């Protein structure tokens, strides 16, 4: 691990471009960064417009970064120009991943065959550009896993991981990272804590997915990166580690995963 003088949370997946932050976006981030609570964060795009906003936000703060990409919800609207715009944004040094991309069979806002096509095209882009990917997988475990395993040279993370411990082991064996969010704190959720216990130290990440998936004890409130502490506390409790160990571990893992050297 790196310098003992470093501290703070690394939130690997946020959406501060969301309209739910329109009233106080910069006040929230100024406080989180200014207080030292937040070491770094990655804001994730879902289409060209939100990816552009994420990139703008990343340039406002030294330790804000972004992922740019086309979410499965937006797959039906993706055209060649959109892929070219995403590719151009990935040339910016503040864009540290392609995402969030993947499959969503819960809402099916885009037809599944279109989701698969757009997902595959972005996996090929990541392979060509040698950049990590951030995967959105909702009720599409089998197809998501099949898609990523076709690209053994692509590295990435399954964000807000909701799969089983068995799936966690399978993905890690293939070199993938797993990120945990608010649902790990939910009372009746047994599967996610089991998956966290099955996650290797060097493959563990944490996130908010804010403003969504707010952890206990703040469920019902708007989420923000400061609440990652509740996720870290839960993981530390499950694994018999200290809070400080898990905070440091996940921060260093995130820096390695995203290629951030400071």
pLDDT tens for each residue of 66-95: 999 999 999 999 999 999 999 999 999 999
In angstroms, the CA 112 to CA 28 distance is 37
Annotated domain spans of the chain: 9-258
Question: What's the pTM?
Answer: 0.96
In angstroms, the CA 11 to CA 127 distance is 25
Q: What is the pLDDT of residue 261?
A: 87
- Closest of 246, 210, 249, 211 to residue 231, by C-alpha: 246
Radius of gyration of the chain (CA): 17
In angstroms, the CA 178 to CA 247 distance is 15
Which pLDDT tens digit goes with each residue over 194-227? 999 999 999 999 999 999 999 999 999 999 999 9
Run of H or E including 32: helix 25-34
CA-CA-CA-CA torsion sign (95, 54, 8, 232): negative
Q: What is the pLDDT of residue 3?
A: 43
Scored b (16 or more CB within 10 A) or e, 232-247 reads bebbbeebeeeeebbb
In angstroms, the CA 227 to CA 234 distance is 12
End-to-end CA distance of the chain: 13
Pick the CATH number of 9-258 from 3.10.50.40, 3.20.20.140, 3.20.20.70, 2.40.128.690: 3.20.20.140
pLDDT class for 2, splitting at 50, 70, 90? Answer: very low
Separation in Å, CA 189 to CA 66, 141, 180, 185, 193: 29, 18, 13, 8, 7
DSSP 104-142: ETTT-SS-HHHHHHHHHHHHHHHHHHT--EEEEEES-HH
């Amino acid at each position: 691990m790196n310098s003992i003088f470093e501290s703070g949370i690394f939130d690997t997946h946020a959406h501060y471009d969301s309209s739910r932050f329109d009233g106080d976006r910069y006040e929230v981030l100024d406080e989180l960064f200014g207080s030292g609570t937040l070491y770094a964060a990655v804001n994730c795009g879902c289409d060209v417009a939100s990816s552009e906003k994420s990139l703008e936000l990343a340039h406002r703060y030294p330790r804000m970064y972004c992922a740019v990409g086309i979410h499965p919800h937006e797959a039906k609207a993706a055209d060649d120009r959109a892929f070219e715009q995403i590719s151009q944004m990935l040339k910016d040094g503040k864009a540290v991943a392609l995402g969030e991309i993947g499959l969503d069979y819960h809402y099916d806002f885009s037809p599944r065959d279109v989701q698969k096509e757009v997902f595959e095209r972005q996996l090929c882009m990541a392979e060509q550009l040698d950049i990590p990917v951030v995967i959105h997988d909702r009720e599409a475990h089998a197809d998501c896993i099949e898609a990523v395993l076709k690209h053994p040279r692509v590295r990435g993370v399954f964000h807000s991981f909701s799969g089983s411990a068995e799936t966690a082991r399978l993905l890690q064996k293939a070199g993938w990272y797993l990120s945990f969010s608010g649902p790990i704190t939910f009372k009746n959720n047994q599967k996610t804590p089991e998956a966290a216990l099955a996650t290797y130290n060097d493959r563990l990440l944490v996130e908010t997915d804010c403003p969504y998936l707010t952890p206990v004890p703040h469920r019902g409130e708007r989420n923000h990166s400061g609440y990652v502490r509740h996720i870290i506390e839960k993981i530390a409790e499950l694994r018999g580690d200290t809070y400080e160990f898990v905070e440091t571990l996940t921060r260093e893992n995130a820096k390695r995963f995203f290629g951030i050297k400071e």
